[in-house]
Chain A
Amino acid sequence: MKRLLPIVLLSALLLSGNPINLGKLAKVKKGAKLVAGAAHKINEEEEYYIGRAVAANILGQYPLLRDAGLTRYLNLVGRTLTLRSGRPELYGGYHFAVLDTPEVNAFSAPGGIVLLTRGIVAMAADEDELAAVMAHEIQHVVAKDPLKAIRSQRMKALGTFTAGEAVGSSGGALGILQDSVMDISGTLLQKGYSRSQEKDADLGALKLLAASGYDPKALLDMLKKVQAAEGKKKLKAFSAHPSAARRIDYVGESVAPADPANRLARDARFEKNAASR
């Protein structure tokens, strides 16, 4: 794209009907460069490393459930969904795991590390409901919502480093990394995403479920259970999410009917891999 910039700019000037002013063109090009260099833009590899740090931070607060069978099953469901998502391939691939807590929650770190609590897995009555929760989290990864939780001042500060300085001994970049991790963890665990981000993730999840062959109505079914659990303080049901009642309204309006017989086809493996845990 950068290679095309001069051509695009020149073409735009030509099409505008104005005479070509090379001085003006140079200024426009210089301006474009300055804007591009104002803040650091996170690439796929950096997203991966931020995601690892965020996930390690969450794993520092919640114990991991080292259940290889259940985790393998989650990764099969998750990968089925991600293949039909807007970001099927990520730098380090998608990874799904379970946190050993009765709390009802799920988190997606940047770069595709999705953590579900034992509480939310236990709440799902079948594979489609489990997939519904995972589809919502995958949509956050697709939209890069976790990265958007990083305060813009961090990226502006990082933009002032040269590559050598950033990985050098100054420690400046390390500090920015730590602060960025805290921005994201704070959003995932306490502050929550904006209502519009959550709505987009829900509506995107409906499409993703349908595209993968899962029943989109499973998201509605799951939200009704979350709504019932919201009254129980011990469960801390989706404490950083908007109320389930609000989400039920717009999900209910958007959900398309699916063949319930297909949903039953996945019951046996759900029973074997998830329900019995």
Chain B
Amino acid sequence: MKKKAIMIVLLAAAALLLAGQALVVQVLRSNLMAKPDFLSSSLATLQKGARLELVKAEGGWYLVRNSAGVKGYVHQSAVTESKVTLGSIAPGPKGASEDELALAAKGFDETNEKKLRSGKGYNFADLGWVMEQEAAVAAVAQFIRDGRLK
């Protein structure tokens, strides 16, 4: 009986911890989508470090609310669990600093890449051109429709 009571208390505590969970965007850029589908319309762009309020999980997607109050879907691979509480979701002195939200790298980062640039055997000039080449979601959606793809 005592064990059962402890278990109930523990489960309730776990539910409280998960409720009102905040998420933070862990990729450089993403989109808040109207539906849990990359080919649906984008409601807003999301930048790295943006904080989102989790409403519910749906398949591989999260239904979230951004700081402007817009509700939409973000893919789970674009976000990570935030260490900040919902109380600090609005920007302000009590919220986590940008540094805290930066998901800072420890060794493999821009600083060390700059040092590599001066070394032999690396072609960062051509890499820059490669990184500029990417397909916008709207163009991909058209490409999929035209090619009878899914």
Q: Using a CB–CB distance below 8 Å, which chain A residues touch chain B?
A: 1, 3-4, 7, 10-11, 14, 40, 42-47, 49-50, 52-53, 55-57, 59-61, 64, 66, 68, 71-72, 75-80, 83-84, 87-97, 113, 115, 127, 158, 161, 163, 166-167, 173-174, 176-178, 180, 211-214, 262, 265-266, 269
Contact = CB atoms under 8 A, between A and B. Distances in A.
A125 B123 CA distance: 31
Q: By DSSP majority rule, is chain A's interface helix, strand, loop, or mixed?
A: helix
Interface of B: 3, 6-7, 10, 13-14, 17, 26-30, 38-39, 75, 77-78, 81, 103-113, 115-116, 119-124, 126-127, 129-131, 133-135, 137, 139-140, 143-144, 146-150
B103 A59 contact: no
B103 A45 contact: yes
Given A49-B105, A177-B107, A89 B27 contact: yes
A3 B144 CA distance: 42
B106 A163 contact: yes
Contact of B106 (A46, A113, A266): A46
B134 A94 contact: yes
Most chain A beta carbons < 10 A, residue from B38, B75, B105: B105
Contacts of B7: 11, 14
A144 B79 CA distance: 18
Given A79-B140, A88-B77, A211-B150, A7 B111 contact: no
Contacts of A66: 126, 129
A80 B140 contact: yes
A233 to B, nearest CB: 26
Contacts of A75: 133-135
A93 B29 contact: yes
Nearest to B106: A166
Nearest 8 CB-CB pairings of A with B: A173-B107, A213-B149, A59-B123, A46-B108, A213-B150, A89-B78, A64-B126, A56-B122
A174 B106 contact: no
Contact of B127 (A52, A174, A180, A213): A52
B123 A76 contact: no
A74 to B, nearest CB: 8
Given A59-B127, A64-B126, A80-B149, A14 B6 contact: yes
B130 A49 contact: no
A165 to B, nearest CB: 9
21 contacts: A11-B7, A46-B105, A59-B126, A64-B126, A64-B130, A71-B130, A76-B143, A79-B137, A79-B140, A80-B143, A80-B144, A88-B75, A89-B30, A90-B27, A95-B131, A161-B106, A163-B104, A167-B111, A173-B106, A176-B107, A212-B150
A68 B130 CA distance: 10
Given A56-B124, A163-B106, A177-B116, A88 B133 contact: no
Contacts of B106: 40, 46, 158, 161, 163, 166-167, 173
Contact of B130 (A44, A97, A173): A97
Given A71-B133, A174-B115, 10 more contacts: A3-B17, A45-B109, A77-B143, A84-B150, A87-B77, A88-B75, A89-B27, A212-B149, A266-B147, A266-B149
Nearest to B139: A76
A62 B17 CA distance: 51
Contacts of A94: 134
A56 B119 CA distance: 11
Contacts of B129: 64, 66, 97
B121 to A, nearest CB: 5
A45 B123 CA distance: 20
Contact of B148 (A50, A92, A213): A213
B27 A158 contact: no
A31 to B, nearest CB: 21
